Amino acid sequence: MDKNTIKAIVLAALVLLLYPMLLKKFYPAAYEKRPAQTMVSQTAIVPVTPATEIAREASLEKAPSPAVAFFENAFYKAKFSTLGGTITDLAFLGEKGRQKFSRTDFFSGDPRTSGIFGVNILHGKADLAETIFKMSRKGTSGEILEFFYELPGEYQLTKTYAFRSDKPAVELTVRVKNISSGEKHFPVTLNYGMSYEEGYQKHYGYYDAVAYAEKIQTQNLDRIKKKGFLFPEQTAWAGFIKKYFALLVKPDGKILEGSAHADPKNLWGEITLEPMTVPAEGENARHFLIYAGPQRYEELKSFGFGFQEVLSRGFFGLFKTWILMTLKFLDQYTHNYGWALVILTLLIKLIFAPLTHISYANMKKMQVLSPKMKAIQEHHKKDPAKSQKALMELYRRNKVNPMMGCLPMLIQIPVFIAMFRLLPEAIELHGAPFIGWINDLSAPDHFLALPFTVPFLGWNSLNILPILMAASQVWYQKLMPAQPGSSPEQQTLMNLMPIFFGVMCYNMPSGLTLYWTLQNAFSIVQQTFINRIVIVLHHEDQ
């Protein structure tokens, strides 16, 4: 061994020998003898748990047990706790006749801890979320629950929950009475939350935080977990949305600031309102409208606060709203959203038919002019400027626009994206049947369950509509005129596109694949007539 190797070995040995001595000198706590585990009985040993969990369990055991109250009406089943005067469980029971497709649990918490709709006084002396309230019930059927707390010499706070009988909504009133000898300012904060499930992204699920300030702003769950979500200024209302449902909170006062964050089980939001000025022996109140129900456009709009924006959010939200309204209108006559979708697709095709006809006729004329175009390019191959000028003159003489070829696809993109967003989100289409095996337009059409799962793709059923869609796309492309100047590689790619789209859409909602298949079918009919058109060129080019 050379000298450097020997030095390295000696240095490593010194580090190994001296490190424990140095650690013991500077960090003696790490080497203190730990007490043995205490025997609870001859057969049981106290389980070892993280210190934070032990402290939490101990605090829960020492704290007075909160009382629990239950409430149920046509819309909700709720569990209340006197700890913070909050709701620890909130379930929407579903729409009449559609409970299977419209029921959901908004929040499910630990009954020993404070739940949602907890109120606090910012910078107050008492943490009201951890305070036991006095509870009472009022109303003809106990639909009004009241929670009372008094901080001696400071204030009395009353929370009143009133459940509406006509809509899935709760009106929460927070009344503060100033029992001190001087005027006080009370900035009220309110928390709200929504539980989320693991694997929520399956089947087009999602959870978003929303805040409305002239326009809606959203943040998805993954981003909230990483960075949280701070609400914009002038926020009017906020809440959380998930597939088909929304929990929204609209206060009567100005929201000064708000935020959302997530823990492993729940999304949490908090809003702080502008302070209430209450004179000595006087009182004031804040009112909150809480909507916890389905994302039905008409119902959301009926409150008059812009709640419907949660459904029409996004760049193509307006198209999505128009399509939904049209589908609902047609459903009044068809009583079947599948047939309503067939009629809507036909109407869309008829509306765009003149423009599509011009575009496809233009493409066919371009195909006929293709030899002439190649001759011009070959003749002026050393002078691109002259070649371009000659081509433009050729187009002008024959009234051809090269850009018209892609127009049919471009004009359908907003509608297609709107359909793509609408069908998985509109609760009206959830569980809506069409014909035969297509019994839910918001889900893939499971024609037959497979006895195996397709590797890599995860398919476990035979879905017919994506196959029909891909086949109709192949048929349609065969009828389309070839693009002038396209290479063999481009043609091969175009031939593979139907297969790609079929795979991509295999597990998409059947309503979407039905729409795409119908579009192809109507386009095939239209293209058949277009192909019969006799193209007449300018006399100079014949």
Residue 284's pLDDT is what? 94
Residue closest to 352 by CA, chosen among 411, 396, 305: 411
Rounded alpha-carbon distances, angstroms, from residue 437 to 88, 338, 350, 440:
40, 12, 29, 9
C-alpha 112/C-alpha 396 separation (Å) is: 79
Please provide the average confidence, as pLDDT, over all residues in the chain: 82
Residue 48's pLDDT is what? 36
Residue 76 pairs in a beta bridge with 92
Residue 268 pairs in a beta bridge with 193, 261
Query: 275: which DSSP letter?
Result: P
C-alpha 305/C-alpha 39 separation (Å) is: 61
Q: Are strands 255-262 and 266-273 parallel, antiparallel or unpaired?
A: antiparallel
Contact 468, 520 (CB under 8 A): no
C-alpha 81/C-alpha 102 separation (Å) is: 26
Residue 156's pLDDT is what? 94
Does residue 295 register a pLDDT over 90? yes
pLDDT range class, residue 147, cuts 50, 70, 90: very high
Residue 291 pairs in a beta bridge with 169, 248
Reduce the DSSP state of residue 135 to 3 states and report it.
Answer: strand
Instruction: Give the model confidence (pLDDT) of 60-71 as tens digits.
Output: 445 568 889 999
Residue 41's pLDDT is what? 31
Report the range out of 237-251, 376-390, 477-491 with the highest average pLDDT: 237-251
In this structure, how many other beta carbons lie within 10 angstroms of the beta carbon of residue 273? Answer: 22
Residue 482's pLDDT is what? 61
Locate 486 and state its tokens: 């396209």
Scored b (16 or more CB within 10 A) or e, 2-16 reads eeeeeeeeeeeeeee
**pLDDT higher for 130 or 314?**
130
Tell me the HSE value of 15 on the side-chain side, using a 13 A CA sphere: 6
Residue 230 pairs in a beta bridge with 259
Beta strands in 413-526 (DSSP E): 446-449, 461-463
Does residue 326 register a pLDDT over 80? yes
Over residues 413-433, mean pLDDT: 84
Residue 354's pLDDT is what? 81
Residue 106's pLDDT is what? 95
Contact 337, 328 (CB under 8 A): no
Phi, psi of 278, deg, nearest 5:
-125, 120
Instruction: Give the model confidence (pLDDT) of 25-54 as tens digits.
Output: 443 433 333 333 333 333 333 333 444 444
Arch. (CATH architecture) of 70-313: Distorted Sandwich (2.70)
pLDDT range class, residue 414, cuts 50, 70, 90: confident
CA 322 to chain centre: 20
User: Range with the lowest mean pLDDT among 91-105, 189-203, 393-407?
Assistant: 393-407
Contact 259, 228 (CB under 8 A): yes
Does residue 141 register a pLDDT over 60? yes
pLDDT range class, residue 318, cuts 50, 70, 90: confident
Contact 158, 146 (CB under 8 A): yes
Instruction: Give the model confidence (pLDDT) of 349-360 as tens digits.
Output: 888 888 777 777
Does residue 16 register a pLDDT over 60? no
C-alpha 333/C-alpha 328 separation (Å) is: 9
* Helix H or strand E segment including 537: none
Query: 538: which DSSP letter?
Result: -
User: Range with the lowest mean pLDDT among 109-113, 198-202, 475-479?
Assistant: 198-202
Contact 472, 520 (CB under 8 A): yes
Q: In sequence order, what are the residues at sequence separation of 6 or more whose Cβ sits closer than 8 angstroms to the Cβ of residue 31?
A: 23, 24
* Helix H or strand E segment including 294: strand 283-294
For the chain, the structural domain boundaries read 70-313, 321-541
